[in-house]
Chains A and B, each alone.
Chain A
Amino acid sequence: MNAINQSGWKPEMGNAGETAPATYTGNKALMLEEALIFEIGTAATTGVDLADAPKVAARLGNLERHRDIGLPGLSEPETVRHYTRLSRQNYAIDLGFFPLGSCTMKHNPRLNEKVARMAGFADVHPLQPVETVQGALAVINELAMWLIQLTGMHGVAMTPKAGAHGELCGILCIKAALAARGDPRSVILVPESAHGTNPASAAFAGFSVENIPATSEGRVDLAALTARLGPDVAGVMITNPNTCGLFERDMKAISDAVHAAGGYVYCDGANFNAIVGRVRPGDLGIDAMHINLHKTFSTPHGGGGPGSGPVVLSEALSPYGPLPYTARHADGHYTLIEEETAQECHPHSFGRMTAFHGQMGMFTRALSYIMSHGADGLRQVAEDAVLNANYILRSLEDVLEAPFADSGPCMHEALFSDNGLADGFSTLDIAKGLIDEGYHPMTVYFPLVVHGAMLVEPTETESKATLDQFIGALRSVAERAKEGDPSLKSAPHHAPRRRLDETQAARKPVLVWREPEQLVAAE
């Protein structure tokens, strides 16, 4: 033999039983710690090459900046690495199951991203002459037509920037309609289980908010609601399907009663995914409903926005909708109805809610999704979303209390409570345990009407295998919480961070980074 293993390389398995030592860097292989840009960047570094500015006499009104801004720069490779490392500390739909109730975390198709980035949509200015943006106006108009037909409504306001902005839009339509007939009604009725935005939006518009009780089966108490109606009630805000995951069976009766008493019906459309293509809200007597394009119509949540919240309107409320909107003419030409032509085309509008024309980048994505599914596919969306939720409800109701399990099938989300957990164990512990199992937890502590609520919304874009594994994992974690497994109290163990001290964050808020010496000087 010659040159026996000259390099000395002999792979070995090592001792798997050893506990891992702390690393020098704090990194754990693929789990990389990352400092702040303020700690790694410098004022002299830039990742952008710019042409030199021609020499000119400045006309800045003697307001030239002399003080440093304090912005660190990174080169391009450092920038890409910084954000790539940060990204890996995030959970996301692309990584796994994200059953966040009332948020409709479904798959975000990449075709949507591709069409939104077409230069004809991404690279046009909102104030270009309308002759130069006919294709963009066509997208807005086509999406508007789909939303009207899918909901069986009369009109749609496209500009609201998010769901809560849409709610405000609907409420302002009601306010304007009442003002137009000189009616001073001032009360909006909201079920106890409503999203917090509902009362906040109504209060913003100057209405006083009164709660409507729910029945023991988790639905609006029709008798209590009807009894409260009267000449001071402007309307009701109802979420349907509601936040307990149930369809409001009496919706039509509620609408009829509210209308008979002279009020209007606002529907929170956050849960439209459960019924799209199977029920048209217009057939239930709704006057206004916002549609979260980032929920039902798959535009990405982006780590918290941007969203988009168009509002469909009944014939009674359509005249009051906000400016601007698009109009299609017989020759196929589009115009934009703005302040200029409002007097002749839309004289009763309550006004403008935002600069420009709404969330165009979300309109392209939502229309791409809607066209991909079509009328038949969207119906299947609702059916699969509801099927998946019922499958989870019935697979887990033996281990977790499902307070409304006897109220009939759920719609697109399954609701559980913390009843029956071991002393000292809570919904929070179950959520954190699920993180270790590789899931984003469900929505917790909402709706408020159920103690320790856990709201599971699987959506239609999950396979049966994914659901089966999740059901097994939640069962396992729930059983640990019922047995009082102390290791659950310190979960998550495997996430980039252990439980964070929210009390310290709120008591002594640190909202911006300061140089360490600044901090010392401040104390």
Chain B
Amino acid sequence: MTRYFTEDHEWIEVDGDSATVGITHYAQSQLGDIVFAEVPAAGATLKKGGDAAVVESVKAASDVYAPVSGTVIEGNDALEGDPALVNSDPEGEGWFFKLTLSDSSELDSLMNAAAYQAFVDGL
């Protein structure tokens, strides 16, 4: 399994031709207390860079973009009842959705953990 990161502060962990997507620890720390998350339904078709999910704190709303194109397998229903999971465990239990990749070459443009860390440090 390999984990990639985007400049929009999403992480994607790839396992074969499927993957799990969430927002990074840095992103949740910038947003503050998450109060609501809307995740895509199974079967939704996502396009790389397109709107995939919504995450809201008290005073901010952000779109979560699809890091790669694909079809949604499952949204994380746990976030509906407990959006705070995004704060407490953004890169684990607080994942947003799983999808099947339609073009794994899209991963090539993403960052690895070290590159993302350097990117965040430069902000």
A residues with CB within 8 A of B: 445, 502-503, 506-507
Further contacts, 12 of them, CB under 8 A, given A506-B56, A507-B36, A507-B83: A445-B59, A502-B58, A502-B59, A503-B33, A503-B35, A503-B58, A506-B35, A506-B36, A506-B58, A507-B33, A507-B35, A507-B84
Which residues of the other chain, A, contact B33 by a CB distance below 8 angstroms?
503, 507
Bound-state CA distance A356–B83 (Å) is 44
Chain B residues 10 to 46 lying within 8 A of chain A, measured CB to CB, are 33, 35-36
Chain B residues lying within 8 Å of A445, measured Cβ to Cβ, are 59
Q: How far is the CB of B61 from chain A (nearest CB, A)?
A: 11
Q: What is the CA–CA distance of A5 and B58 in the complex, to the nearest angstrom?
A: 63
Instruction: List chain B residues, Cβ under 8 A from A507.
Output: 33, 35-36, 83-84
- Can you list 15 pairs linking A and B with CB atoms under 8 Å apart? A445-B59, A502-B58, A502-B59, A503-B33, A503-B35, A503-B58, A506-B35, A506-B36, A506-B56, A506-B58, A507-B33, A507-B35, A507-B36, A507-B83, A507-B84
Q: Please tell me the size bucket of the interface on B.
A: under 10
Q: Which residues of B contact A506 (CB under 8 A)?
A: 35-36, 56, 58
- Nearest B residue to A508 by beta-carbon distance? B35
How close is A489's CB to chain B, nearest CB, in angstroms?
A: 15
- The docked-state distance in angstroms from the alpha carbon of A130 to that of B35 is 52
Q: Measured between alpha carbons, how far is A503 from B82 in the docked complex, in Å?
A: 12
Q: Which residue of A has the minimal Cβ distance to B87? A: A503
A507 and B59 alpha carbons, distance in the complex (Å):
13
CB contact list, B44-80 vs A, under 8 A: 56, 58-59
Min CB–CB distance A432 → chain B (angstroms): 15
In the assembled complex, the Cα of A445 lies from the Cα of B32 at a distance in Å of 15
Q: How far is the CA of A445 from the CA of B57 in the complex (A)?
A: 15
Task: Please give me the 6 A-B residue pairs with the lowest Cβ-Cβ distance, nearest first.
Answer: A506-B35, A503-B33, A502-B58, A507-B35, A506-B58, A503-B58
**Interchain CA distance A503-B56 in the complex, whole Å:** 11
A418 CB, min distance to chain B CBs, angstroms: 15
Q: What is the chain A residue whose CB lies nearest that of B58?
A: A502
A residues in contact with B59, CB < 8 Å: 445, 502
Q: Which residue of B lies closest to A503 (CB)?
A: B33
Closest Cβ–Cβ distance, residue A304 to chain B (whole Å): 18
Q: Chain A residues with Cβ under 8 A from B35's Cβ?
A: 503, 506-507
Q: Within the complex, what minimum Cβ distance (angstroms) separates B59 from chain A?
A: 7
Which chain B residues in 76-105 approach chain A with CB under 8 Å? 83-84
Most buried by A among B33, B36, B83: B33
For B58, what are the chain A residues with a Cβ–Cβ distance below 8 Å? 502-503, 506
Residues of A within 8 A of B36 (CB): 506-507
Q: Which residues of B contact A503 (CB under 8 A)?
A: 33, 35, 58
B88 to chain A, nearest CB (A): 13
CA distance A506 to B55 in the complex (A): 13
- Which residue from chain B places its CB closest to the CB of A428 in the assembled complex? B59
Assembly CA distance A506 to B61 (angstroms):
13
A507 to B35, CA, bound (A): 5
Please, which residue of chain B has its CB at the minimum distance from the CB of A502? B58
B83 partner residues in chain A, CB cutoff 8 A: 507
Residue of A445, A502, A506 ringed by the most chain B CB atoms within 10 A: A506
Closest chain-A Cβ to B19's Cβ sits at a distance in Å of 28
